[in-house]
Structure 1
Amino acid sequence: MEYGEYLDQIEHQASALRAAAVAAGPDVPVPPCPEWTVHRLVRHIAKVHNWVGKALVTDPSAPEPHPDRPPESWPDLLSWWDDQVGALLGALRARDPAEPAWVFAVAAEPAAAFWARRQAHETAVHRLDAEHAAARSDRADSVPALVFDPRFAADGIDELLVLMTPRRYRRETVTVEGTVLFHAADAGRAWLVTLRPGQPPLIGPATEVDSDASVVGTADAVYRAAWHRPSHAVVSGDRTLVDALRTP
């Protein structure tokens, strides 16, 4: 996807997230994240957007920037978040995709392009959380099945598996062994994850369909399943391998 497309997605997904959050109300639980209320969800995404705005103006070799503290009251929090989304988009639009910036993923190019992609998907996944909160349900069918365009959803699966999942395993150890196929049928893309005890997962394009477990469906459904959100994706084979593949 192109840089400008990610910025459009940030704006669109943030708007949809906000609408769902307001419809739900601040005290409603977030079914995919049982420990969260909508207030905490909005506080989280607002803080992330603020933090990324700081990362964009931080030298890649500098220490990690620290976000500001969001306000507590619901009206003030929503207003503050609106400001952070606007500032983030303004900062990204003012930068060349290759312009250096601080990033947390060592495998990623330390540039503005990383943050455009990361925030498009961060905001999209939490938009799902807000939609489930508004529906007051963790059932997959409580949120429309095709919220995300296949191309965008497939890009999100790739970003999660290739960049985000290996980062998780810098802190954790794989304890199971086997392969998991992720197949986004309508996008024509597939990935094979190889899990090896005591080693980081190996992730690459799938060249064959034989695997110990599989997650198959539309790109939208597989995107949700990869992030452990309610999904209509079909999970088959050794479910323990899929469950062991932790996401951030």
Structure 2
Amino acid sequence: MDKDVSMDMNRDVDTAPTPERLAEGLREQTAAFAAHVDGGDPDARVPTCPEWTLRDLVAHVGRAHRWAAELVRTRSQEVAGGPSRVPVDGSEPWRDWLLEGADLLVAAAEEAGPDATLWSFVGPQPPAFWLRRMLNDTSVHQADAAATTGGAFTIAPDLAADAIDEALLMLSGPWAEKARPQLARLRGEGQTLGWRATGAPPAAWLVTRTPDGVTSRRSSAEGDVNVSASLADLLRVLSRRLPPDDPAVTVTGDRPLLDHWLSHTAF
């Protein structure tokens, strides 16, 4: 990847989970995802991803873990092809297959070691990049699985906070508009969005729309629009898995600014 589109995915080093916590979190979230989908109707539609069935959702998560594991295992310096085996129906044990994929990625990261570098879509990164990326992808899809099968979305506060950190960083990196040109519509003239976690631990983010793109930082400063919810629900709002009108969410200020943001941040 060109140097001008690389980015620092370890920006908030004081709050970022360790590789060990990322590995533990990946296993936690994969187990939660598996608990939701195991025994579910393979043809059930996923309400938060209506183009997918539950079978598609499971296949996506399991394949992504194996794809990332192979990339890390080989220390690939270029994008790698993914494995071909996916569950095609509900007859095989989805739970075991899913947990195996997470274990493969954790084992590959441990074998590679923290100082290895390999390909990522934001430039060369250590294996922890892919632990974090797959953990946060799995967390969002756990919300999809819960919505499909009627379960409750669960995530530890530290993992939810880091998922929000990463989500906002991915929207503000210089590579983002190259990957998703529609993100250019998020540029602005200084409009701000505040994201505030209620309860403990305290956490807050401020997003600013500038003429050059989006910036974000940890801050409790007031925005032109402010969204308050638990860390888990804040993550679901940001990932468009929970509508801001939900009773668990409080929105104050410029609501059209929030609606515009949510309508252009599909990633």
- Cα distance change, pair 217–73 in 1 and its aligned pair in 2 (3 A): closer
Aligned to 1:182: 195
Shift in Å, 1:196: 3.3
Q: Structure 1: how far apart are the matches of 2:91 and 2:260?
A: 39
Partner AA of 2:40 in structure 1: A
Q: Structure 2: how far apart are the matches of 1:8 and 1:175?
A: 34
Aligned to 2:216: 203
Aligned to 1:93: 110
Match of 2:177 among 160, 169, 185: 169
1:157 aligns with 2:164: yes
Question: CA RMSD of the aligned region, Å?
Answer: 2.4
Shift in Å, 1:202: 1.2
Shift in Å, 1:82: 4.4
1:114 aligns with 2:129: yes
Aligned to 2:148: 133
Q: Structure 2: how far apart are the matches of 1:242 and 1:105?
A: 27
- Cα distance change, pair 153–82 in 1 and its aligned pair in 2 (3 A): closer
1:203-235 CA-partner distances (Å, limit 9, x unpaired): 1222522x2111112211111111111262323
Aligned with 1:159: secondary structure?
Answer: helix
1:213 aligns with 2:228: no
Aligned with 1:201: secondary structure?
Answer: strand
- Cα distance change, pair 219–100 in 1 and its aligned pair in 2 (3 A): same
1:193 aligns with 2:184: no
- Cα distance change, pair 27–207 in 1 and its aligned pair in 2 (3 A): closer
Shift in Å, 1:26: 0.8
Shift in Å, 1:175: 5.1
1:50 aligns with 2:66: yes
In structure 2, runs of 5+ residues without a counterpart are 1-16
Shift in Å, 1:191: 1.3
- Contact between 1:176 and 1:241, CA under 8 Å: does it hold in 2? no
Q: Structure 2: how far apart are the matches of 1:5 and 1:47?
A: 22
- Contact between 1:154 and 1:187, CA under 8 Å: does it hold in 2? no
Aligned with 1:244: secondary structure?
Answer: helix
Aligned to 1:138: none
Q: Structure 2: how far apart are the matches of 1:217 and 1:68?
A: 38
1:103-145 CA-partner distances (Å, limit 9, x unpaired): 1124xx611111121121111111111111111xxxxxx636x
Aligned to 2:33: 17
Q: Structure 2: how far apart are the matches of 1:104 and 1:133?
A: 30
TM-score under structure 1 length normalisation: 0.84
Q: Percent identity?
A: 26
Match of 2:52 among 31, 36, 41: 36
TM-score under structure 2 length normalisation: 0.78
Partner AA of 2:125 in structure 1: P
Q: Structure 1: how far apart are the matches of 2:230 and 2:186?
A: 29
Shift in Å, 1:58: 4.5
